[in-house]
Chains A and B, each alone.
Chain A
Amino acid sequence: MSATLLIGSLAGVLGLALLARLLGLGAAQLADEAEAQAIAEAELPGFIAARAELAADREAATVWGIHGERVCLRRHGAQFVAEMLPAGERRDWRP
């Protein structure tokens, strides 16, 4: 591997990341409670959503399952990650 290739690759990496930012790519908001429930169900095997509550900025949500379990949904880049909360744990929407 030559130094030229190494430096060129690094320049390409940083350049593309900068272009992604300049092009305004990324960011995501939950459309509604139904989308939050659908994401929680898709992310967690066996989880069946009963209801959801969105954060004011629509970048996070709490989703309740039919057994009372709770799932925290938060934006990660342009996607969302879901985490099952232990019983009794409170979770701020914007940790």
Chain B
Amino acid sequence: MAAVNTLPDPVDYAVPAFVLLVFVEMLIARAKDRRRYCPKDTLTSLLLGFGSTIAGALSAGLVYALAVEVHAFRLFEIGWAWWAWPLCFVLDDLAYYAFHRSAHRVRWFWASHVIHHSSQHYNLSTALRQTWTGFVSLSFLFRLPLFLIGFPPAMVFFCAGLNLIYQFWIHTEVIGRCPRWFEAVRNTPSHHRVHHATNARYLDRNYAGVFIVWDRMFGTFAPERDDDRPRYGLVKNIGTFNLIWAAFHEWVGIARDVWRAPGLAAKLGYAFGPPGWSHDGSRDTSETIREKWQRRAAWKNMTSSSSAAAPAAAPSPAGLPEPADTASA
């Protein structure tokens, strides 16, 4: 157990590199495309990241105590064997995939994760735009199986830190595509641009942290296409740089919807259904957005090949979105 208390948080050591790389990317943006960065958006992202660090530190003791508690019931004596490290890293990444997929498919988890997607920019500062409410949403539950298997809590949290550091560099448009073998196995800027995109074809894809193989295995992979450049943000963007609103808007949406919902089933649906779910089907989920996109594409194809198509035959308009009408992006 001696090593348990001696492992540092690798993220602490990475912070200077984060700052330096964001600056380098800004210089590239100045030379190539100044729209890649916006000072207000950058400040919002970085302050949300700063707040997330504080929120994480406040709950770290409780999460660690829970991890130790669960570890006491471990199924195997894994200890600090050398082979446990890579195994722990890979399984932690699988746990991350499960968490991340849930974070996009269950509104309760999405309410916490939405912060990370709320920027319409995609740059290295976006990587640091992290949640303030991860503890409230109980996202730490996804790592509990690792402790139950027998991985020491400090090892798991160290691997989780490495995972987080890895995910920093993939939040960029500066890097196009990596070598094919690397794109096949690892999460890359190209794969993660798809994940952050609101384009209908890209919604709810590429949940991976480090290894894209999870998405390939579980059917959630989509490649980036040159003919469909990713657009970033939310399917209904919040349109503000207000930190508090960015951090809590989906929680407010859940509270409002649960309050107004008719009956217990609807209340549960608004809290734990997919983002955009509504009891009367009046809002858009990722699935309905994809359907509308396909219908629109079909209609446009029809009109481009025939002059007979009338607006009346076109798909109906999107309707008026509610404030909380936010399918995951």
Q: Which residues of A contact B (CB under 8 A)?
A: 1, 5-6, 8-10, 12-17, 19-21, 23-28, 41-48, 50, 65-67, 69, 74, 76-79, 81, 83-84, 86
Q: What count of chain B residues pass the 8 Å CB interface test?
A: 59
With a cutoff of 8 Å between Cβ atoms, the chain B residues found around residue A47 in the complex are 296, 317-318
Decide if B30 touches A24 in the complex (CB within 8 Å).
Answer: yes
| 5 smallest beta-carbon distances between A and B, as pairs | A77-B38, A46-B292, A26-B38, A17-B43, A79-B120
| Cα distance A65–B43 in the bound complex, in angstroms | 35
Q: Do A25 and B30 contact each other (CB < 8 Å), given the known contacts A45-B289, A46-B295, A77-B241?
A: yes
User: What is the 8 Å Cβ interface bit string for chain B, positions 274-309, against chain A (1 contact, 0 not)?
Assistant: 000000000010001100110110011000000000
Q: Which of B110-132 contact A (CB under 8 A)?
A: 120-121, 125
B321 at the interface (CB under 8 A from A): yes
**How far is the CB of B51 from the nearest CB of chain A, in Å?**
10
Q: Which of B185-218 contact A (CB under 8 A)?
A: 198-200
The secondary-structure label for the interface of chain B is: helix
B141 at the interface (CB under 8 A from A): no
Q: Which of B12-40 contact A (CB under 8 A)?
A: 12, 15-16, 18-19, 22-23, 26-27, 29-30, 34-40
| Cα distance A76–B22 in the bound complex, in angstroms | 21
| Cα distance A17–B316 in the bound complex, in angstroms | 42
| Cα distance A5–B19 in the bound complex, in angstroms | 13
With a cutoff of 8 Å between Cβ atoms, the chain A residues found around residue B150 in the complex are none
| Cα distance A65–B86 in the bound complex, in angstroms | 54
Decide if B43 touches A5 in the complex (CB within 8 Å).
Answer: no
Q: Which residues of B contact A (CB under 8 A)?
A: 12, 15-16, 18-19, 22-23, 26-27, 29-30, 34-43, 46-47, 49-50, 53-54, 57, 120-121, 125, 198-200, 231, 233, 235, 237, 239-241, 284, 288-289, 292-293, 295-296, 299-300, 311, 314-321
Decide if B317 touches A20 in the complex (CB within 8 Å).
Answer: no
Q: A26-B40, A42-B198, A43-B198 are in contact. List 6 more A-B contacts (CB 8 A).
A: A9-B50, A25-B42, A43-B237, A46-B296, A47-B317, A76-B120
26 contacts between A and B (CB under 8 A): A1-B12, A1-B54, A9-B15, A10-B50, A12-B46, A13-B49, A16-B23, A21-B39, A23-B29, A24-B30, A24-B34, A25-B36, A25-B39, A27-B35, A42-B198, A45-B284, A46-B293, A46-B295, A48-B314, A48-B315, A74-B239, A78-B37, A78-B121, A79-B35, A84-B319, A84-B321
Contact of B34 among A8, A9, A26 (CB under 8 A): A26
| Cα distance A50–B53 in the bound complex, in angstroms | 46
With a cutoff of 8 Å between Cβ atoms, the chain A residues found around residue B199 in the complex are 42
Decide if B27 touches A78 in the complex (CB within 8 Å).
Answer: no
| Cα distance A86–B38 in the bound complex, in angstroms | 30
Q: Do A42 and B35 contact each other (CB < 8 Å), given the known contacts A1-B53, A16-B19, A77-B241?
A: no
With a cutoff of 8 Å between Cβ atoms, the chain A residues found around residue B12 in the complex are 1, 5
CB closest residue in chain A, given B42: A20
**How far is the CB of A67 from the nearest CB of chain B, in Å?**
5
| Cα distance A12–B12 in the bound complex, in angstroms | 13
Decide if B57 touches A77 in the complex (CB within 8 Å).
Answer: no
Decide if A81 touches B50 in the complex (CB within 8 Å).
Answer: no
Decide if B38 touches A45 in the complex (CB within 8 Å).
Answer: no
Q: Do A17 and B318 contact each other (CB < 8 Å), given the known contacts A8-B15, A25-B36?
A: no
Contact of A20 among B26, B47, B57, B198 (CB under 8 A): B26
